C-alpha cells in the first residue's frame, strides 16, 4: 500500500477519534451542568447559561408548553454566550409561536442548518441573525410534551449524522435532568409545607432521640412550656415535669419499645410555674435495621377544656343539690299537709262507724264511707312515697309495688284516668332489686309520661306496662308500651 493511502487512513481515524473525543467532552459538560444546577432556584436559567457556553451558541432559551387555553409557549429563561442570562415569563400565543409549533411535534432532539422564521427571530432581538442554525431538545412527559431547550447558532464541529447522535445523547440527559428538577422542586415544596405545618401546628410537637435528648420541637412546644432558650439537646424529662403521677414515664417506656400511645392524660408544670393539662400521643420512626431512629411526641393542651368540664360538673352538682333541697323542703310541706289531713279523715271515719252502730240508714252513707277510705289510702301512699324518696340509701325495692303506687297517683290526672286504656301485667314472682327508690321511680315514670304525651293525638290510647322475671338469666324486665305515633 502506498504511503498516501496510509496517510489517508491515519487522517480518517484521527478525525473520527477527534469527533468522539469532542462528543464525549460535550456530553460530560452537559451532564455536569444539569447536575451542578439541580438545587439552584433559577435552575433553567443556569442550565441555559451553561448550554450557551458549552455549545458557543448565540442564545439558549427554555420554553414551557402551556396547555391551558389560550395554548402557547412560556419563555421561562434564556442566556447568551457572553454569560448574561435572565429568567423571564413571557407568554407566546400559538398564533405567534412560529417554529415552536414545529418543535412541539418533534419526538427526538434535532438540528437544522438554516431557519428563517420572522416570529421566532423576534424573540432574540437585534443580536439574532436573519437566518440561524437551530438545535432543539424537546422534553416529553408521559403523555405529552412539557417544553424544550432551543439553541440558536450553536457551534458544533461534527457532521450532521454525528450531531444527531450527540443531540440524542444530550436529549436523554436533559429529559432526566428536567424530570429530576421537577421532582426536586416537589420535594422542596413538600418539605417546606411539612416544616410550616410542623412549626405552626396548634399542638405541641417534639421529636426525641431514644436516649431522651430532644432533636427538634415546634414553636407551640416552647410557648406552652415557657422555654426561653433552644431546647434541642436537652433531656425531655428536664422540660416535661409532671405534677404528680408517672403518665409520661410509663408512656415513654412503651414508646421506646416501639409501641404507640394515644390520648394519655398528664399534668405538666410550665417554666413559669403554671400547670398544663395535656393529652399525650406518640409514635416512633424506625431505622432500616429495625432500631428506633426517633420518638415523636404530640401533646394537645386541654387545660381550658378540662377547666370548663369541671365548672360544668360543679354547676350540675350545685343545681342537683338545690333541686334536692327543694324536693326535701317540698316533701316536708307535703308530709305536714298530709299529716294534718289524717286527723279530720279519722274523725269522719269515727262518726261513720258510730252511725253504723246506731243502725242509722242514711242515704249515701256507704258512698261517703268508701270515699273516706280512698282518701285514707291516698294519704298513706303519699306519706309512704315521701318517706321513701327522701331516703337516699340503697334499699330493696319491689318494682310491682312501686308501679302500683305511682300509677295510683296518676289517677288524679283526668286525661290518664278517663281517656287512656290501661293494660298491666305484673309478675308476682318478681324479686326485689337493690337501689335508691327515688331514682327508680323517676326513671320509670319519665318513660310513662313520655308514653302518655305520645298518645295525646292518637285515636286509640293504650298504655301497657309489664314486669317479668327471667329465671334462667336472672334478668328483671319492665316493659312499657304505647300506641302513640312515635318520632316521625
- Supply the pLDDT for residue 43: 85
Using DSSP bridges, classify how beta strands 395-397 and 214-217 pair: parallel, antiparallel or unpaired. unpaired
Q: Tell me what pLDDT residue 424 has.
A: 93
Backbone angles phi, psi at 140, to 5 degrees: -110, 135
Hey, where are the domains in the chain? 3-191, 204-301, 304-390, 393-488
What is the rounded CA–CA span in Å between residue 111 and residue 447? 90
What is the structure's pLDDT at 478? 93
3-state secondary structure of 288: coil
Q: Let me know if the fold of 3-191 is the same as that of 204-301.
A: yes
Which residues, other chains included, contact 460 with Cβ-Cβ below 8 Å and sequence gap of 6+?
Answer: 421, 483
In the chain, DSSP finds a helix count (H) and a strand count (E) of 13, 17
Per DSSP, what are the bridge partners of residue 282? 261, 297
Say what the pLDDT of residue 284 is: 92
- Grouping H, G, I as helix, E, B as strand and the rest as coil, residue 451 is helix
CA angle 147, 153, 157 (to 5 degrees): 110
**Which residues are CB-contacts of 365 (< 8 A; sequence separation ≥ 6)?**
352, 355, 356
Beta-sheet pairing, 421-425 with 462-470: parallel
Domain topology for 204-301: Beta-Lactamase (3.30.450)
Cα angle for residues 130, 131, 133 (degrees, 5° grid): 135
Nearest-angstrom CA–CA distance, 112 and 96: 21
Backbone phi, then psi, for 66, in 5-degree steps?
-95, 125
Domain 3-191: give its CATH superfamily: GAF domain (3.30.450.40)
Q: For the domain covering 393-488, report its CATH number.
A: 3.30.565.10
Per-residue pLDDT of the chain (488 residues; tens, 9 = 90+): 444 554 555 555 555 666 677 777 888 888 888 888 877 878 888 888 888 888 888 888 888 887 766 678 888 888 888 777 777 778 888 777 777 877 888 888 888 888 776 565 556 554 555 667 888 888 877 666 678 898 888 888 777 778 888 888 888 888 888 888 877 777 767 667 777 777 888 889 999 999 999 999 998 999 899 888 888 899 998 888 888 788 899 999 999 998 999 999 999 988 888 899 999 999 998 888 888 999 999 999 999 989 998 999 899 888 877 877 776 666 666 667 766 777 777 777 777 777 777 777 767 777 777 787 777 777 777 777 777 776 778 889 999 988 988 888 788 788 888 899 999 999 999 999 999 888 888 888 889 989 999 998 889 999 999 999 998 888 999 999 999 876 54
239 near 261, Cβ under 8 Å? no
- Return d(Cα 50, Cα 30) in angstroms, integer: 8
Compute the distance between CA of residue 237 and CA of residue 251 in angstroms, rounded to an integer: 12
* Category of 132 on φ-ψ map: left (φ > 0), alpha (ψ -120 to 50) or beta: beta
Interatomic CA distance for residues 90 and 109, integer angstroms:
24
Helix (H, G, I), strand (E, B) or coil at 357: helix
Alpha carbons within 13 angstroms on the beta-carbon side of residue 308 total 4
The 8-class DSSP code of residue 76 comes to E
Q: How far apart are CA 403 and CA 441, in angstroms?
A: 8
pTM over 0.75: no
The fold of 304-390 is Helix Hairpins (1.10.287)
C-alpha 187/C-alpha 458 separation (Å) is 68
Q: How far is CA 77 from CA 22, 81, 137, 150, in A?
A: 27, 14, 15, 11
Centre a 10 Å sphere on the Cβ of residue 350 and count the other Cβ atoms it contains: 10
Query: Residue 298: its pLDDT value, please?
Result: 93
Task: State the pLDDT at residue 126.
Answer: 44
Residue with cell 394515644: 262
Amino acid at each position: 500500500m502506498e504511503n498516501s493511502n496510509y496517510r489517508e487512513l491515519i487522517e480518517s481515524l484521527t478525525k473520527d477519534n477527534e469527533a468522539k473525543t469532542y462528543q464525549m467532552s460535550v456530553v460530560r459538560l452537559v451532564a455536569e451542568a444539569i447536575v451542578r444546577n439541580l438545587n439552584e432556584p433559577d435552575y433553567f436559567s443556569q442550565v441555559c447559561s451553561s448550554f450557551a457556553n458549552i455549545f458557543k451558541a448565540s442564545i439558549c432559551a427554555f420554553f414551557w408548553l402551556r396547555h391551558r387555553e389560550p395554548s402557547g409557549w412560556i419563555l421561562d429563561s434564556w442566556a447568551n454566550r457572553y454569560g448574561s442570562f435572565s429568567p423571564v415569563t413571557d407568554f407566546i400565543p400559538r398564533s405567534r409561536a412560529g417554529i415552536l409549533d414545529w418543535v412541539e411535534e418533534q419526538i427526538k432532539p434535532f438540528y437544522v442548518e438554516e431557519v428563517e422564521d420572522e416570529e421566532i427571530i423576534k424573540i432574540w432581538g437585534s443580536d439574532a441573525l436573519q437566518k440561524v442554525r437551530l438545535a432543539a431538545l424537546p422534553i416529553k412527559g408521559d403523555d405529552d410534551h412539557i417544553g424544550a431547550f432551543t439553541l440558536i447558532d450553536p457551534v458544533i464541529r461534527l457532521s450532521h449524522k454525528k450531531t444527531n447522535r450527540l443531540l440524542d445523547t444530550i436529549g436523554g440527559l436533559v429529559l432526566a435532568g428536567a424530570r429530576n428538577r421537577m421532582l426536586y422542586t416537589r420535594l422542596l415544596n413538600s418539605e417546606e409545607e411539612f416544616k410550616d405545618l410542623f412549626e405552626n401546628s396548634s399542638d405541641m410537637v417534639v421529636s426525641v432521640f431514644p436516649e431522651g435528648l430532644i432533636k427538634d420541637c415546634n414553636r407551640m412546644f416552647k410557648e406552652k412550656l415557657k422555654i426561653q432558650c433552644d431546647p434541642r439537646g436537652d433531656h425531655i424529662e428536664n422540660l416535661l415535669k409532671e405534677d404528680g403521677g408517672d403518665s409520661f414515664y410509663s408512656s415513654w417506656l412503651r414508646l421506646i419499645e416501639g409501641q404507640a400511645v394515644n390520648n394519655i392524660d398528664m399534668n405538666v408544670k410550665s417554666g413559669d410555674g403554671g400547670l398544663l393539662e395535656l393529652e399525650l400521643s406518640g409514635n416512633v420512626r424506625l431505622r432500616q435495621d429495625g432500631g428506633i431512629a426517633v420518638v415523636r411526641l404530640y401533646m394537645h393542651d386541654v387545660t381550658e377544656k378540662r377547666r370548663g368540664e369541671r365548672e360544668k360538673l360543679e354547676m350540675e352538682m350545685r343545681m342537683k343539690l338545690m333541686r334536692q333541697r327543694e324536693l326535701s323542703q317540698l316533701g316536708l310541706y307535703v308530709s305536714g299537709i298530709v299529716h294534718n289531713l289524717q286527723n279530720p279523715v279519722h274523725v269522719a271515719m269515727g262518726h261513720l262507724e258510730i252511725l253504723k252502730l246506731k243502725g242509722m240508714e242514711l242515704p249515701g252513707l256507704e258512698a261517703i264511707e268508701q270515699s273516706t277510705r280512698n282518701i285514707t289510702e291516698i294519704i298513706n301512699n303519699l306519706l309512704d312515697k315521701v318517706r321513701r324518696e327522701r331516703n337516699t340509701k340503697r334499699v330493696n325495692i319491689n318494682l310491682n309495688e312501686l308501679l302500683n303506687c305511682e300509677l295510683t297517683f296518676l289517677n288524679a290526672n283526668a286525661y290518664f284516668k278517663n281517656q287512656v286504656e290501661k293494660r298491666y301485667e305484673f309478675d308476682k314472682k318478681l324479686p326485689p332489686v337493690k337501689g335508691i327508690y327515688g331514682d327508680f321511680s323517676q326513671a320509670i315514670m319519665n318513660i310513662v309520661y313520655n308514653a302518655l304525651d305520645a298518645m295525646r293525638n292518637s285515636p286509640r290510647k293504650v298504655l301497657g306496662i309489664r314486669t317479668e322475671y327471667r329465671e334462667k338469666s336472672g334478668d328483671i324486665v319492665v316493659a312499657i308500651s304505647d300506641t302513640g305515633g312515635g318520632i316521625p
